Structure 1
């Protein structure tokens, strides 16, 4: 059985989320709101909780630095936000980082999600 600690690559974690039906990528809209895969899923920071953060660093290219935020919404649905970080962030302006800073965090063991 594969445990979260055994998952060392971004693609492994994203595949595990997909297999569990938790592949709801949450992205920032042009209007500064976060939206899930379903168009009606619009989130404010207080609607989400960051339950786990993974950071990935490329072996040779700083542009390969990526952070994966696994989130739970107020209805108990799991989703994720994916972003390059640092100067290579894929989100321009301060809206994205301001939104992330407002999301409460609750670092949880994700064993129950991935088992």
Structure 2
């Protein structure tokens, strides 16, 4: 019976993404607008698609739970969306969570990383 491969940490995944040129982040500003690092454009959920999601859980602290999404806009710009989940979300209220739920998902095997 084959032993399961260990999960990668968030920093290991981020390093692998950086090797693929994905270093920017989609984030929500204090006006509630989602934008990509160094870009002036604001995005709607329909402007993006999620290519992969990675969930991370802390061994001993539930506050260490996070999810990292690899997302792409319609022009082919790729970036990460990082959010804590559960009670410790990075963004107050449910606006960001609703934005995430409305992004179409098109999972890509390109981001199935191994250690």
Contact 2:55 2:68 in 1 (8 A): yes
Q: CA RMSD in A?
A: 2.1
Paired with 1:88 and 1:82, the residues of 2 have a C-alpha distance of: 12
Measure the CA separation in 2 of the matches of 1:112 and 1:58.
21
Q: Which runs of 5+ in 1 are unaligned?
A: none
Q: Compared with structure 1, are the counterparts of its residues 56 and 22 closer, same or farther at alpha carbon in structure 2 (3 Å cutoff)? A: same
TM-score, scaled relative to structure 2: 0.85
Which residue in the other structure is 2:87 paired with? 87
1:35-46 matches, within 5 Å, as 35-46=35-46
Structure 2 unmatched runs, 5+: none
The 1-side partners of 2:111 and 2:59 are apart by: 27
Tell me how far 1:94 sits from its aligned partner: 1.2
- The answer to whether the 8 A contact 2:52-2:111 is kept is no
Rounded to whole Å, the distance in 1 between the matches of 2:38 and 2:78 is 13
d(CA) in 1 for partners of 2:7 and 2:41?
28
In 2 relative to 1, CA 61–70 (structure 1 residues): closer, same or farther, beyond 3 Å? same
- In the superposition, relative to structure 1, how do residues 7 and 42 fare at CA in structure 2: closer, same or farther (>3 Å)? farther
Contact kept in structure 1, 2:47 and 2:74, CA below 8 Å: yes
Greater helix percent: which structure?
A: 1
